[in-house]
Structure 1
Amino acid sequence: MPEVIFPGPEGRLEGRYHPQKDRDAPIAIVLHPHPQFGGTMNNRVVYNLHYAFHRMGFTVLRFNFRGVGRSQGEYDQGIGELSDAAAALDYLQSMNQNAKHCWVAGFSFGAWIGMQLLMRRPEITGFVSVSPPANMYDFSFLAPCPSSGLVIHGTADRVAPPADTRALVDKLHEQKGITITHDEIEGADHFFQDPHMGTMIDHVTAYVKRRLTEGTR
């Protein structure tokens, strides 16, 4: 899988780009957890999401937010990281101008950034939000949420407690015109330690495949 360096708002960003042979393949970006708590694009959840999307026929990009790995810049409280994600999507779209579908997937902090990106980019047709930290960050900007998607987390998550995630999902369920699918992985912690990683990826794969088959928002 090619290592890529592409321009970001504060300098170069480092990524891993995994294209498909099909020129009109759907595209997806995968966003990693908090940079100040060891989050990188090589996080196990991010890595597994990346390959799950590629197996489903997506051209996929994951990357390091500013200040992580070889990405330039410094941590910016989520504001700059959202700009990084927008730059990554710009780069991915420039390489895949015939893509009919565009998805964003994020884990933990990356889920929060991904949901904000969703609000800015109407071309995003679906999202996967893994262990969104609804107890730490304000998700009220999702009013209304512009696209249907999947929220998935573990019942034993102590970093982002399930009760807060359920409250977020309940608010999103009140919105019309979209469908929020909510999956809980019994016994899984925030990081989906084995044997729960495979179960989570299976749920994500089943959801995305169903959405692609339906061809709907």
Structure 2
Amino acid sequence: MNAQTKKFLIDGPVGKIELALDLPAGTPRGMALVAHPHPLFGGTMDNKVAQTLARSLVQLGYLTYRPNFRGVGETEGEHDNGIGERDDLRAVIEYMRAQPSQAELPLVLAGFSFGTAVLSHVAASMREAGEHIERMVFVGTATSRWDVAPVPENTLLIHGEIDETVPLAAVLEWASPQELPVVVIPGAEHFLHRKLHVLKRIIVDAWK
């Protein structure tokens, strides 16, 4: 991704988990975890939307971790329909918390597509355990394809107007009972081709 990106392996529930760590300039204001789209359809930590999420959060001052899901890259194990993947993300968060001077850093969870479904359940279990999450950022929230758990009211939801994979109407139907606003990118499809600069602007502006 850039000269400040480090890739390495950590131990997970069913084997090694491959991680990329992107470092901000100066003292970190927090740390972030970015979850990528569906592994069986080419989703990896290097997906352009996942990278844009990471770049945005790094610009905002967050140490940003991007794991590969099971069976992707050097991450061991087999795809588990989003169930075992929750355990893997919890393991990554535990690793993040265990690093020197990171235990008390605010945590941001960001996901794209399949990654939003997995993260929603991770976040729900964390909140039940009393663990604090500063904010969540969901792009292309996969409500029409997966069981996406309710999210906190300050979650930033971003969706393409003409998303053919997860129709905007499906996201609005999921968000409505929670009274969650959805930021719509005009003319954007699921992978936000030629709209990634807009995505980054939305995220950075949301922190202002």
Mapped partners of 2:119, 2:204: distance in 1: 18
Q: What are the residue-to-residue correspondences of 1:36-47 with 2, within 5 Å?
A: 36-47=40-51
> Which of structure 1's runs of 4+ aligned residues deviate more than 6 A?
none
Q: Secondary structure at the match of 2:19?
A: strand
What residue is the counterpart of 1:103 in the other structure? 108
What residue is the counterpart of 2:135 in the other structure? 126
What residue is the counterpart of 1:170 in the other structure? 176
- Aligned residue pairs total 199
What residue is the counterpart of 1:74 in the other structure? 78
Q: CA, structure 1 residues 98+11, in 2 after alignment: closer, same or farther (shift >3 Å)?
A: closer
| Aligned residues with identical type, % of pairs | 30
Mapped partners of 1:110, 1:13: distance in 2: 15
What residue is the counterpart of 1:215 in the other structure? none
Mapped partners of 2:178, 2:84: distance in 1: 26
**Is the Cα–Cα contact under 8 Å of residues 24 and 59 in structure 2 kept in the other structure?**
no
What residue is the counterpart of 2:146 in the other structure? 137
**Is the Cα–Cα contact under 8 Å of residues 23 and 99 in structure 1 kept in the other structure?**
no
Mapped partners of 2:63, 2:112: distance in 1: 19
The Cα of 1:200 is off from its aligned counterpart by 1.3
Residue 105 of structure 2 aligns with an amino acid whose one-letter code is: K
What residue is the counterpart of 1:155 in the other structure? 161
The Cα of 1:138 is off from its aligned counterpart by 2.1
Q: Secondary structure at the match of 1:2?
A: strand
RMSD: 1.6
TM-score calculated relative to the size of structure 2: 0.90
What residue is the counterpart of 1:188 in the other structure? 188
TM-score calculated relative to the size of structure 1: 0.86
Q: CA, structure 1 residues 55+113, in 2 after alignment: closer, same or farther (shift >3 Å)?
A: same
Q: CA, structure 1 residues 92+70, in 2 after alignment: closer, same or farther (shift >3 Å)?
A: same
Structure 1, unpaired ranges of 5+: 174-179, 211-217
Q: CA, structure 1 residues 150+17, in 2 after alignment: closer, same or farther (shift >3 Å)?
A: same
Structure 2, unpaired ranges of 5+: none
